[in-house]
Amino acid sequence: MKYQLAAVSTPASDTQQSICLFFPNARYLFGIPEATTRMCIQRKQTLKKLRGAFLSQATDGGLAGLTMSFADSSGSGTLNVAGPEGTLHRVAGMRYYNKRDQLKVNVLESLIGDRCEDALYSDEFVNVYGVTTHSIKSNESYSSSSPSPSRSQSPSHSKRNNMSYEESVEYKRKIVDEIFPGLLPPNGLDGSSEISTPKNGGDAVEDIPSRNDAKLSRRLARLPAPRHPRSDAAASYIVMGKPMRGKFNNEVAVQLQVPGPLRSKLTRKETVTFQLSDGSERTVTPEQVVAPDTPPTVFFIVNVPNKKHITTLVQSSAWERHRQTDKPHILVHNVGWGVLDSEEYVQWIKSWGPDTHHLVSSPEYTANNVSLPSSFLSLKRASVLSDAFKAPLYSLDAPRSLPETLTSQVKIEVLDKHHKAELNPPEAPSVQPTLMSGLPPGFDIRRETTEDELLKQGLSEKSWDNYSKACEAVKEEVCKLTPPERQAGDDVVVTTLGTGSALPSKYRNVSATLLQTPHGNILLDAGEGTWGQLARMFGERSRNTPPRDGDGDDREDAWDVLKNTKAIYLSHVHADHHIGLAKLLQLRSKAVGQENPVTIICNHLIRTYLLEQNELEYLGIGRKVKFVDVEALLYNQDVAVEKAGYRKLQADEAALNLAALRQSLNLKDVKTALVKHRCKCHAGIIESNEGWKVVYSGDTMPCENLVESGKDATLLIHEATMEDGLEETAEAKGHSTIGQAIQIGKEMNAKKVLLTHFSQRYSKLAQSSESQNGTMVIAHAFDLLSLRVGDLWKMSHYNSPLSFLLAQEVAGEETEDVIEEEPVEKQEKRSKKSRKAQNKEKRKPNSLFDTVHESNASDQQQSKKAKV
């Protein structure tokens, strides 16, 4: 049986290393960084057969999205999640926003000091052993009990802190079992349908337990702190394939006259004796008719985040058994800056001999290549409207080349995103590029023009000509038009970093919108991959690390944008709106001092999740991160309203932090409004002393609260998940159609409406019966669109060529998708059942614990029915 190792992604601005082990009936991912799901989608690598997700560190940012996508692609099943200590804490921390009733998640932790005598994970194809390392500075904390970081007051937190380590592990495993119970599909449904069907339609939710229910208590309370808070532990993996049974030589068996019934014994390594026709006996051993077993192929995934991990890695006894037998065929080195400058690590590499292959994955030696093929699309868009769309920022040259002391003595090369290696029989790694997995090798956007053949990739000559002519026509049209009269807020720049709903797709990432005001930046929601979008949009002067002051380069880059972000508004707990925030905070904490805090406006569920994540990695909470509770800012109540106990503390905190935020951003006020969604969701209303007002809807159905609180908005940013004609579907899912969003803008008397959060099923702009009339500007958002608010009027003129371009890109793709399509008959049958349930009992919005990530499996399963 053949199997292979293949790169999924390599270090770049928007990705980190991820490697996949492929068997015909199984997949195993090593490294789950942010954008892993999106990379799998664009590489056409199905998640349906995924068995194991092996984290480099407990904080790998793509885990939540991966579990959701796996559940939605497989329908049901088991996913094994392995990583260093802290992984269980991470998975239990997903309880507010990631629940899949038909998915079973097994959490496997590789602990410090394990001798690797037993496999961390084993099945019929592989044995995986975990080797967990830590930095030298952590020795003391691992040899003694570590106090947890200070915890802000929360319900029942004292009971959690008094748990023993064993009790806390049991407690967290109960939570994981509750959010991923692995239930059987409902009667009449198979694994390809929606993950579960709630009584009232819509997405899957569990029944809300009573206030005295132990399950609710576990979900409300803060998790017990990890045994080693903010550990920098990293897990490396020794992966052994199973020995392959030697082939039975039927010709030799015939020559030896072995009777048919006895041949099966020989394949089981049993010696047989039988009588020949002349009456004599013959004994045949397995070695005479069965080829020797093929020994297992072994490879290592070696994760070394920094030089301080080297000593504990190379001194681990886990490697010793593989120096004489079961030697590794490949070592994949996922290493941080400076690791290959260590003589200790270089000698360890050389110790594996001249026949072992080494692949190095590091931002120090890997070019910052474009990761997603949508970069073609970005370039083509830039030819339409160069001040609104930019070619992705990247580099074809790595910061450094591999040391000659290594390249001259061992088989070593830099991991390429196109690398593959056959493992049975083992072959040398090779680069096998495809257009499907990104830009063509050597393609340089800076050297190509819109007339080059590569740029036309995916379009016929006629389509390209039509597109080019349409571009020229609309550019001439815009030049002839008189811009609208200047208004307050025209100089605010709005950048739509993610414009899709539910799951990321090839061309739209999940929700994130950046407002750049003269006094600082405001981020509205932050789905997975938001940092990667920022880095592609604005570039990085220094890869993965903040640039140093006085470096002679005064260009504004993504780090500057992040440092100048003073407020982050999170509308609700659904994962596609906030799980990219932890990475932003972790990076920002490196770049700023406590004199430059960011204020997060969110609900208490998101806050609790962030506090728990802060116990795994430092996010700056306390000194560099301040909180304001959304419910303390409701437009129809005073921020200083008196509340009792814990809630009063939040109100007091909100008043204090909001006052500082207003002064910092020159704001008149920040208010929220409760809108209509399947969980509690709040719209944000941001009003400046300079006279402009921006309203962000979050996810909502048409809502009077939003209209009332956002009256006379300068800009309304409103979700438009569904096209017109799908009002019933939109209501069932707690969303709006395009026409409904536009109508809200009219009722609000908004000057401009920016539509975003489109269903990923649409390959081009979904249609609306509402037209551009009157003075209200209507603009459709695209990923990495960046325009002054005063220039949004231009977008209506560019809708036609932009929509055509997107549709042509999608039409030229292969039909295979990560999430496989269910038969249309099942979709229609399930849709009828859902409508019947809705008519019987309308679902009440704003349930506190509607924790499901908005995967909307049916959206994904219908993606290939896109309008083209």
Considering the segment(s) 4-241+295-375+398-437 as one domain, its CATH architecture is 4-Layer Sandwich (3.60)
Distance separating alpha carbons of residues 560 and 562, to the nearest angstrom: 5
Average pLDDT over residues 418-433: 93
Q: State the chain's maximal CA–CA distance in angstroms.
A: 110
Average pLDDT over residues 158-186: 86
Structural domain spans, the chain: 4-241+295-375+398-437, 250-289, 493-545+556-811
Contacts of 716 by beta carbon, 8 Å cutoff, 6+ apart: 695, 697, 710, 744, 745, 748, 750, 752, 753, 754
DSSP state of 758: B
Distance separating alpha carbons of residues 315 and 113, to the nearest angstrom: 11
* Structure confidence at residue 619 (pLDDT): 97
The helix/strand/coil state of 791 is helix
List alpha helices for 49-123, DSSP H: 63-74, 87-92
* Structure confidence at residue 145 (pLDDT): 39
* Structure confidence at residue 323 (pLDDT): 92
Q: At residue 36, what are phi and psi to the nearest 5 degrees? A: -60, -45
pLDDT band at 450 (very low <50, low <70, confident <90, very high): very low
Class of domain 493-545+556-811: alpha beta
In 3D space, the residue among 483, 568, 567, 513 whose CA is nearest the CA of residue 716 turns out to be 513
* Structure confidence at residue 594 (pLDDT): 83
In 3D space, the residue among 64, 76, 74, 89 whose CA is nearest the CA of residue 176 turns out to be 89
Q: Tens of pLDDT along 258-267?
A: 999 999 999 9
Residue 160 pLDDT exceeds 70: no
Contacts of 108 by beta carbon, 8 Å cutoff, 6+ apart: 80, 81, 82, 83, 87, 120, 121, 130
Q: Are 685 and 671 in contact (CB under 8 A)?
A: yes
The helix/strand/coil state of 447 is coil
Average pLDDT over residues 565-578: 98
Q: Tens of pLDDT along 827-846?
A: 344 445 444 444 444 444 33
| 420: Cα separation from own chain's centroid | 23
Residue 150 token pair: 């200070």
* Structure confidence at residue 837 (pLDDT): 45
Mean pLDDT taken over the chain: 84
* Structure confidence at residue 863 (pLDDT): 40
Q: Which position has the higher pLDDT, 556 or 348?
A: 348
* Structure confidence at residue 692 (pLDDT): 99
pTM, to two decimals:
0.86
Q: At residue 755, what are phi and psi to the nearest 5 degrees? A: -90, 135
* Structure confidence at residue 199 (pLDDT): 31
Contacts of 270 by beta carbon, 8 Å cutoff, 6+ apart: 286
* Structure confidence at residue 845 (pLDDT): 38
Long-range contacts (CB closer than 8 Å, 24 or more residues apart) made by 315-322: 316/116, 316/131, 316/133, 317/115, 317/116, 318/114, 318/115, 318/116, 318/129, 318/131, 318/238, 319/131, 319/238, 322/238, 322/298
Q: Tens of pLDDT along 198-228?
A: 333 333 333 333 344 667 667 778 999 999 9
Residue 147 pLDDT exceeds 60: no
DSSP state of 195: S
Q: Are 181 and 104 in contact (CB under 8 A)?
A: yes
Domain 493-545+556-811 in the same topology as domain 4-241+295-375+398-437 = yes
